[in-house]
Structure 1
Amino acid sequence: MNQLTVIEKELVPVYETSTGEKVVNGRELWEGLQSKSKFADWIKNRFADCEATENEDFETLSKNLENGGRTKEYIIQLDTAKEMAMLERNEIGKKVRKYFIAVEKKYKTPKSQAEILLGQAQILVNMERKQRENEKAIEDTNKRIDGIKDIVSLNPNDWRKDTARLLNKMAVAIGGYEHLRNIREESYKLLDERFGVSLSIRLTNKKKTMALNGVCKSKVDKLNKLDAIADDKKLIEGYISIIKEMCIRYGIDANSN
């Protein structure tokens, strides 16, 4: 253990080590707090309450007694001693804790001019970094707003091409084109629920009608749910609306490629 020098003696002696650490003796702290518990029980319980770690928050020393026996002494960091005093939950504990705080303030090492300048420089660096982050956030927000504006103004005449492009973007946004089928099915499901229709039934009926009208099988087989949507102006408008909502939800920018 480093050589200890007494620096305060008022309520509980406070020592300074050769490395400048402020510490107290566990037994002297116990006496100063006027605890009614046995010292061995008190110190064990308080270390447990504080979750104190040996060789970090306190050190244990073995001391020879005059009668030839040995006893343990505990050298406790001032921060831990403050917490132990607070845990007494009485006026003496409060008084001792305030005393330790006053000792800390009194012996706090003043910063050198170089440390002060370094601290000020770090503050400026942090402020500049935060400003750049804010500017980037504003720029990203403006891009999203511009993208949303373009989404809102989708051209109903090119709805198939535009919605396909945006569905591709959504798939990429969540991991890749392998998600495109699920994204597309989600859009159809939302349209069914929103308008109380069944695109599957409409598509089946459309195929039957075209087959009865003599349309070749290859052409009938190529029909999909978009063709069922295309037959109903209200469904086209509804589908465009749903795609817009999905774009906003998936954070899609209509301007990006």
Structure 2
Amino acid sequence: MNQLKVIADEMLPVYESETGERLVNARELHQQLLSKQKFTDWIQRKIVNYGFVESEDFFISLGKSTGGRPSTEYLLMLDTAKEIAMVENNEQGRAIRKYFIQVEKQSRVKQPQTQAEMMLMFAEQFVNQEKEIKQIKQDNQALKQRMDTFDNLDTIGDLQQRLNKMVQKYAAQNGVSFPQAWRDFRKSFNTAYRTNLKMLVQNHALKHGLKSLTAPQYLSLTNRLEDGIRVADKMLNQSEREAI
């Protein structure tokens, strides 16, 4: 435990040993907590009351001698120091505990120690950037095709005609029949709005004594054509994405 390096020093120092343990000097913690108890009594009570185990929760070392007996230093594991700060049950203790948690989070991000590790880190960053650029290009292409879909649609006429044309385009893009395209539309509509479009059409026709009623007609009568347009647009956009 002789080779300790400081890895954080905002509220009080946090050390790291040569084997990677993150440690806090109990005497420094005692001072920062503004405890009025004598340090020796304070640390002994904490060890006994909370069952801390030497070599697991803390380590003991001898401090530098100033002419008399060298002082006994207690090096606490970071988790032990967090617990002690918490049980102080005051604002200073809570603030120190939050500080320890932040130090712990930061220390999880391993910094490159050698040139090889640094090169590997840069290579991983480059690969991630390439993936992000590729995804952006795919998203832009999908957006362009989506805009082309709207440009190619005949917007002259009512929404009912537009919906029919969108479903026709979907059928052509996916190589399915027009009836199958409408079945796919109903399935997507039901999923989007948690309903049963076929049953809604049948019930509406029965209620109003209509001999026949198509899905576009029903959506028009119930002012839901815009919902249908949104579903059809999503279907076209999805099929275009899959074709990329």
Which interval holds the TM-score relative to the shorter structure?
Answer: 0.3 to 0.5
Which gives a bigger RCO, structure 1 or 2 (Cα 8 Å, sep 6+)? 1
With the length of structure 1 as denominator, give the TM-score of the two structures.
0.46
Larger Rg: 1
With the length of structure 2 as denominator, give the TM-score of the two structures.
0.48
